[in-house]
Amino acid sequence: MKTYAMMVLGCKVNDYEATYVRENMNKYYSETDFKSKADIYLIFTCCVTNTAEAKTRKFIHAARRNNPEAFICAVGCLSQIRSESEVFDNVDLIIGSDQKDKIVDLIRREERNNLVSSAISTDFEHLYIESYPARSRSFLKIQDGCNQFCSYCIIPYSRGRERSADHEKILKEAKVLAKENKEIVLTGIHTGRYDDGSFDLYHLLKEMVKIEELETVRLSSIEITEINDGIIDLMSENRKLARHLHIPVQSCSNSILKAMHRPYSIEGFIDRIAYIRERMPDISISTDLIVGFPGEDDELFDETMENLKKIRFSFIHVFPYSRKSGTVADKMEGHVDPKIKKKRVKEVMELEKSYTKDYYSSFIGKKVEVLIEKCANGISSGYCKQYIYVDIDADLSVGEIYDVIIDEVNEEGVKGHAA
């Protein structure tokens, strides 16, 4: 049997799409490690940062080096916007942001072609999967594309316009996945904008929590403007909805938010967070933050830092601004020195460290529900519904959920014992 190897860069949507391809590749080929010699290599590309593009180039070269005669397929966002680039000179099959349902058939026919179309389909491409490799948590893609066009972001150009999966197909897939996975993470490019014409995100969540085998439903990411009162009510009333929201703020300065084309003020953001916490005091609220955006001087960065102190996120994914050709921000004036961006990242991370520890410490002596993802050397580990990673000194079953009492929070992490 021929072998294949897969490398997945980027987001949870890529992970879901790669899982679909893997499930179908396994019918005809045997998977091996990407570092090994394989007959076929698949690389799911990302275009969010310049680092992601460099990684794509690196993995394409590695695949060709491992086996000069291999069939190489590049898929996804970077393929969509840069398919004619020399980055893909050594690639046999290039597929962009649609036609992923055809990948396996094309590989079996050894189709050597660039199938990227500038006109990305406006129909949602359903990629039904039956199981997830982790056997604990699975992703489920419910939405694709973005209409927001933030000034720093290339994704609307690489993923196309917003489109949503049919809610009946989502619920059908969720019921199958729930037989092996206690938790399902709903994901998309702009998940909060889910709307298939009859169901919006609130109505979809309302039906998801009715699935008997499913223990936890989690949202991968959602914008502050899309967390309506219905979603908050449902989260506060139903234990199946994870007490964690990842809400990208991107900047805590109104001047920068305006330049970014973000649709809210920092005052409105802070007020909404306060309301959510009032309804659910134990909720984990995490975020994405970009520092060093064009025009962000010391005063505006200080404004962001002061507002971060008011919000006190449970954790922050902080990124230095990365220029992307084709975006509005790339042509702006006032680009920040890389050394300053690096310094600001460090400052945010130092601030985050104390707030993360404070949030985790608030659970000492309390009971949480932990989904076990791995067990090794007598230590079981996994995330609780508040998205705190907990180590438990016990042999517990992977894929099962246990009540755990939090005992300790230190530099090594969070520790607890089975209740």
Q: Taking the domains of the chain in order of start, what are their residue ranges?
A: 3-114, 137-361, 367-418
- CATH architecture of the domain with range 137-361: Alpha-Beta Horseshoe (3.80)
Q: Burial-class residue 133 by CB neighbours within 10 Å (0-12, 13-18, 19+).
A: exposed
Looking at CATH, the fold of the domain delimited by 367-418 is given as OB fold (Dihydrolipoamide Acetyltransferase, E2P) (2.40.50)
Are 137-361 and 367-418 the same fold in CATH? Answer: no
pLDDT in tens, the chain (419 residues): 999 999 999 999 999 999 999 999 999 999 999 999 999 999 999 998 878 889 999 999 999 999 999 999 999 999 999 999 999 999 999 999 999 999 999 999 999 999 998 889 999 999 999 988 877 899 999 999 999 999 999 999 999 999 999 999 999 999 999 999 999 999 999 999 999 999 999 999 999 999 999 999 999 999 999 999 999 999 999 999 999 999 999 999 999 999 999 999 999 999 999 999 999 999 999 999 999 999 999 999 999 999 999 999 999 999 999 988 889 999 999 999 999 999 999 999 999 999 999 999 999 999 999 999 999 999 999 999 999 999 999 999 999 999 999 999 998 899 999 99
Looking at CATH, the fold of the domain delimited by 3-114 is given as Rossmann fold (3.40.50)
Q: ∠ CA 303-258-291 to the nearest 5 degrees?
A: 50
Q: ∠ CA 323-262-224 to the nearest 5 degrees?
A: 125
**Which positions ≥6 away from 1 have C-beta within 8 Å?**
28, 29, 30
Spatial CA neighbour of 4 closest among 62, 72, 86: 72
CA distance 313 to 309: 9
* pTM higher than the cut 0.85: yes
- Cα distances (angstroms) measured from residue 275 to each of 224, 232, 236: 12, 9, 12
**403-417 as b/e, with b when 16 or more CB fall inside 10 Å?**
ebbbbebeeeebbbe
- What is the sign, positive or negative, of the torsion defined by CA atoms of 297, 261, 263, 208? negative
